[in-house]
């Protein structure tokens, strides 16, 4: 075990898979000699050369289009979208081409594309560079969606994504890059579609991802002091979603709170609550709650951005409400 930052875990995962498989290569804006705008590809250009770590023009459509063409001819490209918000520029390429290519060829062609999207709020980048956009892609069969929240999970899920024969979107939270955690590089890659119970408790199930996982754990400490033990689940993957783990926890607690960074409408939290209601409504001892960001553009000003996203206090109040 070693202690590394989330950023270092990304770099290590990319290097490990490039060493393991010569068909893996990287493309994106400024990922080469510059090492990426957040330095997540730092050193890879020097190690693997310009043929396998390629800078691209400032064109998200070109990046995804090139990745698709490379994948269907036998390579395993890893494409970086510098800010996840810019996935809107290449939305058609992802939703209508990447997601559907294997299906439309009758399975004759695989599309092993990994798209790394630098995601999330909290660093003062303003409305167009701070959105958590993972929810944009929940409704496109053919895509897998990963939201790793720790160095170990970003390392393991990124390696699983690169090995997958279908397209995988890996959302790396920008505000987590400098945060440290333990990493076992000898561990098997983290399975796509498997949630993790990160804190056990018997009174309320709290489901959260990425930065909201950290804030749920902060809330858990305060709630424990008040005599409320919550169980915190990190989904880690939104598509496919591990409903079984959530239902198993709900059988013990009878109460559900979902915490997502983005606005509630059209998000994974509402989808999860809907699935639980459809499959196991009788498990609820109280109405489920969703704690989400405000339905506004993300403010640039630091205090306003802090107020926009859920914090530990809002999570704690939601848990206390369902316990009444």
Residues marked active site are found at: 129
- For the beta sheet containing 24-28, the strands, ordered from the edge strand earlier in sequence to the opposite edge, are 53-55, 24-28, 76-81, 114-119, 168-173, 144-146, 237-239
Whole-angstrom Cα distance, residue 140 to residue 265?
17
The answer to whether the beta carbons of residues 158 and 114 sit under 8 Å apart is yes
**How many CB atoms within 10 Å of residue 265?**
9
Whole-angstrom Cα distance, residue 20 to residue 18?
5
3-state SS class at 229: coil
Tell me which residue of 194, 275, 200, 188 sits closest to 236, measured CA to CA.
194
Whole-angstrom Cα distance, residue 324 to residue 320?
7
What backbone torsions phi and psi does residue 226 show, to the nearest 5 degrees?
-90, 5
The answer to whether the beta carbons of residues 319 and 286 sit under 8 Å apart is no
**How many CB atoms within 10 Å of residue 142?**
17
Number of helices and strands in the chain (H, E): 11, 14
Structure tokens at 16: 């490990």
Structure tokens at 80: 């970086």
The answer to whether the beta carbons of residues 79 and 116 sit under 8 Å apart is yes
**How many CB atoms within 10 Å of residue 196?**
17
- Rounded to 10 deg, the angle between the 268-280 and 243-253 helix axes is 70
Q: Would strands 230-234 and 196-199 be described as parallel, antiparallel, or unpaired?
A: antiparallel
Structure tokens at 128: 């167009």
């Amino acid at each position: 075990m070693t202690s590394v930052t989330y950023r270092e875990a990304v770099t290590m995962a990319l290097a490990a898979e490039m060493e393991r498989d010569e068909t893996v290569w990287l493309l994106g804006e400024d990922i080469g000699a510059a090492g990426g705008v957040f330095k997540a590809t730092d050193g890879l250009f020097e190690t693997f050369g310009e043929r396998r770590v390629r800078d691209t023009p400032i064109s998200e459509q070109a990046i995804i289009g090139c990745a698709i063409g490379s994948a269907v001819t036998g390579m395993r490209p890893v494409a970086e979208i510098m800010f996840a918000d810019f996935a809107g520029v290449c939305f058609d390429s992802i939703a209508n081409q990447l997601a559907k290519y294997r299906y439309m060829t009758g399975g004759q062609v695989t599309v092993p594309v990994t798209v790394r999207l630098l995601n999330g709020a909290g660093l003062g980048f303003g409305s167009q560079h701070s959105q958590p956009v993972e929810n944009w892609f929940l409704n496109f069969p053919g895509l897998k969606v990963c939201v790793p929240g720790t160095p170990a999970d970003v390392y393991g899920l990124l390696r699983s994504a690169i090995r997958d024969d279908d397209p995988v979107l890996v959302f790396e939270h920008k505000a987590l890059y400098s945060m440290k955690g333990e990493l076992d590089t000898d561990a098997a890659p983290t399975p796509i579609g498997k949630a993790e119970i990160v804190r056990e408790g018997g009174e309320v199930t709290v489901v959260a991802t990425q930065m909201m996982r950290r804030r749920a754990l902060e809330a858990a400490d305060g709630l424990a002091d008040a005599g409320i033990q919550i169980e915190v689940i990190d989904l880690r993957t939104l598509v496919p979603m591990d409903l079984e783990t959530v239902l198993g926890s709900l059988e013990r607690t009878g109460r559900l709170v979902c915490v997502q960074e983005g606005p509630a409408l059209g998000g994974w939290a509402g989808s999860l609550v809907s699935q639980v209601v459809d499959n196991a409504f009788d498990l609820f001892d109280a109405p489920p709650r969703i704690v989400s960001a405000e339905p506004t553009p993300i403010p640039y000003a630091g205090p306003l951005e802090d107020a926009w996203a859920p914090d530990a206090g809002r999570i704690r109040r939601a848990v206390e409400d369902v316990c009444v």
